[in-house]
A and B are shown apart, each in its own frame.
Chain A
Amino acid sequence: MKRSPLAHRAALALLALAAGAGLPAHAELVTDVAAPLDVNARLNFRVTYPGFLRFRVGTTGATINLLDFTVPAAQVGSGTPIAGTGGDAGPSGVNVEVVANNGQVTITPTNSSGGLGIGTGTATDGRINYDQIGTLSSVAQLPAPILTNAGGAPVTPTLNTTLVTNRTAVWTFSYLNQTIPSAGTYGGATAARGGRVTYTATMP
């Protein structure tokens, strides 16, 4: 085969470069010339992982969901639970998520009623006690606190692994309808009427 001078020069230059390349025998640029040809090089990795607690009840962002229960006159006080509207996981349900990584999380409910229950804003109308608000969780490992006028009993989501909690559930609320209050609109977005529940998650 006839080779062109250009090809010859290029090839020779390339081979000279390759043959002359120095190979320092540093730790992570390693060379072996003796059988068996076998070299190792290492690479270090580091993950900086923060301690954190994320907690969600209902719609993400600044929205505070309002669960609205409307009791038909024919059913007042019948004991038949009334489903609500206004949830973000179905009409009566809210999405709940707790993710944390430094030990047992505790979720504690408080409310804006000052221990009195939910009112209309008019004292003579009376109150609806928080024990008339039922809550069910879709996941046993993330239970819903039972609400009372004083707030309610704290709950502790089950740890997934040592120190780590990563649970999601839907908490479904209902009005238990076991009493006969005076007519009116109880609670609502006006916190002073006592209808706002705040869930607080804490971690060691």
Chain B
Amino acid sequence: MSRLALRIAVAAWLASAAFTASAVTIAVADGAPQISLRIGATGGTISLVTFAVAAATAGNGTPVVGTTNAAAGSAQGTFAACAANNVRVWARARSTVANSRTATLQVNSSGTMTSGANAIPFTDIDWITSAGPEIPSGSFSGSATQTLMSFMNSREVGMCLQFRFLNNTVYPAGTYNGQMTFNLNMP
């Protein structure tokens, strides 16, 4: 083990002792370049976040909190399970030399959720980060390349996000569906 790798590992262990495991960046051993990304559930499932808007408050500007199942926020390694209705976001980047490369997580929020000919933009959704400081609470910008966070290898990071429908606009009745793609890359 290199001197550098040892120091990083000890620092991570000490940090784990001081905070909950879900709120720290965990160091991983250097090795052959590799990146991993998890959004929501594992096991081949694409998680679904649902917003049910009430007729009495539709379009009044009071955010509607999204719901999802427990699998979407389940534990990942040392990162504990998220609170109910949160989505687990987890990323890991490894390379042969620690702190030599930068991994970047982006999201394409340029699309819409559609119901027939009607559409709701993804900019009508924001999120509250309940665990993990790497992605602060924010909202989707509508960009195809909105950067959510960057981190140096060799680390893994885990967050829990609760999504909200902002409810600022009145839309035609319908069931709107859309899919967002998150991208992790490490040049």
Contact = CB atoms under 8 A, between A and B. Distances in A.
A28 B173 contact: no
B87 interface: yes
A142 B77 CA distance: 58
Contact of A10 (B13, B42, B173): B13
Contacts of A180: none
Interface in A84-143: 99, 101-102
Given A18-B156, A99-B58, A41 B125 contact: no
Nearest to B36: A31
Contact of A50 (B5, B32, B54, B187): B54
Interface string A43-55: 1111111111010
B82 interface: no
Contacts of A30: 36-38
B178 A45 contact: yes
Given A28-B40, A50-B55, A18 B28 contact: yes
A14 B34 contact: no
Interface residues of A, number: 51
B102 to A, nearest CB: 11
Contact of B51 (A11, A27, A45, A101): A45
Contact of A48 (B52, B59, B77, B178): B52
B148 interface: no
Interface string B76-87: 011000000001
Contacts of A28: 38-42, 44-47
Interface in A9-34: 10-12, 14-15, 17-19, 21, 23-24, 26-33
B176 A24 contact: no
Interface-centre pick from A18, A26, A31, A43 (highest chain B CB count, 10 A): A43
Given A43-B182, A48-B175, 10 more contacts: A11-B9, A14-B27, A24-B42, A38-B35, A45-B51, A45-B163, A45-B180, A46-B177, A47-B50, A102-B173
17 contacts: A3-B6, A17-B77, A28-B45, A29-B90, A32-B36, A33-B34, A39-B183, A41-B184, A42-B46, A45-B49, A45-B51, A47-B120, A49-B58, A49-B120, A54-B56, A101-B58, A162-B117
Interface of A: 1, 3, 7-8, 10-12, 14-15, 17-19, 21, 23-24, 26-33, 35-52, 54, 99, 101-102, 160, 162-166
Interface of B: 1, 3, 5-6, 9-10, 12-13, 26-29, 31-56, 58-59, 66, 77-78, 87, 90, 92-93, 103, 113, 115, 117-118, 120, 122, 125, 156, 163, 165, 170-187
